[in-house]
């Protein structure tokens, strides 16, 4: 029987058709996340999609990381997370292991102890991957399984300065959640 995956999320992407182009092309709904019974799959509707940081960087046809480079980085920092991947003319897909638990964003109430634990975990993770950094430590991207925490969604993994890392962590974990009034004393 054919298994139809569930479409979880769809987003635009920016890509360069070729190395000579100076302006990126926007592809609406160019990146999709699918949930299968056995894994998650992300698809990008262009083979030139570049992974890595999006902030503090001018994007060019050669900035960031190719899919092969990206896979190598993620396999180093989170072995076993990527199950398989494929690059076609016109598209890419990557399959991920299902990480047990619930996203930290869905845990309530968000006490300051809980946020501190998450912050500590992200700093410890950075210390293991430095000078690389996951680059997108939002609560949506942290899976909580009892006492164990896991970082998913490594698409923005890249080289970051220490200043960028700590500014990002402050923004993504503390500031955003204070503004949303989600942290409780």
Ligand X SMILES: Nc1ncnc2c1ncn2[C@@H]1O[C@H](COP(=O)(O)OP(=O)(O)OP(=O)(O)O)[C@@H](O)[C@H]1O
Residue 140 as a binder of Mg ion (CB under 5 A): the answer is: yes
* N residues, the chain: 185
Q: Which is nearer to Mg ion, 16 or 169 (CB)?
A: 169
Which listed residue (43, 140, 167, 176) binds ligand X by CB under 6 A? 140
CB atoms inside a 10 Å sphere around CB 51: 23
Which listed residue (16, 73, 132, 136) binds ligand X by CB under 6 A? 136
Residue 39 gets the label, from left (phi > 0), alpha (psi -120 to 50) or beta, of beta
Which whole-number Å values give the CA distances from 113 to 44, 116, 119, 184, 185, in the listed order? 37, 5, 10, 9, 9
Residue 99 CB, shortest distance to ligand X, in Å, is 4
Residue 11 CB, shortest distance to ligand X, in Å, is 6
Residue 40 as a binder of ligand X (CB under 6 A): the answer is: yes
The closest alpha carbon to 57, from 143, 156, 147, belongs to: 156
The closest alpha carbon to 149, from 96, 102, 82, 116, belongs to: 102
Residue 155 as a binder of ligand X (CB under 6 A): the answer is: yes
Residue 67 CB, shortest distance to Mg ion, in Å, is 18
Query: What is the binding site for ligand X (CB under 6 A)?
Result: 8-9, 11, 33, 40, 96-99, 103, 136, 140-141, 143, 152-153, 155
């Amino acid at each position: 029987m054919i298994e139809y995956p569930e479409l979880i999320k769809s987003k635009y992407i920016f890509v360069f058709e070729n190395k000579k182009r100076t302006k990126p092309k926007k592809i609406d709904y160019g990146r999709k996340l699918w949930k299968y019974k056995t894994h998650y799959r992300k698809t990008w509707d262009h083979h030139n999609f570049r992974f890595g940081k999006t902030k503090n960087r001018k994007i060019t046809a050669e900035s960031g990381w190719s899919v092969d480079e990206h896979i190598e980085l993620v396999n180093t920092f989170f072995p076993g997370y990527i199950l398989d991947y494929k690059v076609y003319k016109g598209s890419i897909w990557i399959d991920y292991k299902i990480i047990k638990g619930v996203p930290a964003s869905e845990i309530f109430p968000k006490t300051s102890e809980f946020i501190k634990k998450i912050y500590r975990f992200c700093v410890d993770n950075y210390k293991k991957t430095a000078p690389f950094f996951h680059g997108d430590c939002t609560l949506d991207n942290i899976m909580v399984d009892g006492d164990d925490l896991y970082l998913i969604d490594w698409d923005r993994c890249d080289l970051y300065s220490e200043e960028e890392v700590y500014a990002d962590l402050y923004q993504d974990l503390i500031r955003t959640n204070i503004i949303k009034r989600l942290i409780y004393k």
